[in-house]
Amino acid sequence: MRFVDFHAAASTCSPSRASLLTGRLGLRNGVTHNFAVTSVGGLPLNETTLAEVLQQAGYITGMIGKWHLGHHGSYHPNFRGFHYYFGIPYSHDMGCTDTPGYNHPPCPSCPRDNGSLRNLDRDCYTDIALPLYENLNIVEQPVNLSSLVQKYTEKATEFIQQASISGRPFLLYVGLAHMHVPLS
């Protein structure tokens, strides 16, 4: 089967993802704009996700990749119906990274002495290094973007193999880092 058309419920990331998981457009589910790194909320907790429904029906559920629907507390994927989560909590361009060759700002190093921070162009204490999570644990920070797709592929393969061995039905939602254009 070859998919040649691409459709989305919204032109931006968070609203489109929220619609995919809830079956409701942003005006109905409350997600009409992208969430920022500093956002304290996420997909409203009164919205039921497909993962929650399937989890209650006995499915093993997993989410691998970019979440971008809230990353604090109850908004984390592990609390929105996913047994397993491996990925970044928001867009890969929303945090600094130490990956050379990427068009992202490098993470500023913090001085180890009591030197003044006023001379720094960027604040090493507030510029957030992009984290990679496995469930509720940060496993890499800053994330190495050059190996991220390979890591996602490996984790997706492991998830499918483990779910197949269990004999239970499963849902695996994969949001690759390069999600804004069709992959060839």
Tokens of 163: 């779910």
68 flagged as catalytic: yes
Q: Per the residue annotation, which of 7, 68, 107, 110 is the catalytic one?
A: 68
Question: How far apart are the C-alpha atoms of 112 and 110, rounded to whole Å?
Answer: 6
Catalytic residue among 7, 13, 96, 104: 13
* pLDDT tens digits in sequence order for the chain, 184 residues long: 676 777 778 888 889 999 999 999 989 999 998 888 888 899 999 999 999 999 999 999 999 999 999 988 999 999 999 999 999 988 777 766 655 555 555 666 655 555 554 445 555 445 567 889 999 999 998 888 888 989 999 999 999 999 999 999 999 999 886 655 555 5
Active site residue 124: no
In order of their start, the domains of the chain are 13-175 (3.40.720.10)
DSSP 109-147: PPPSSS--STT-SS-TTTSPBPPEEETTEEEESS--GGG
Contact criterion met (CB below 8 Å) for 106 and 84: no
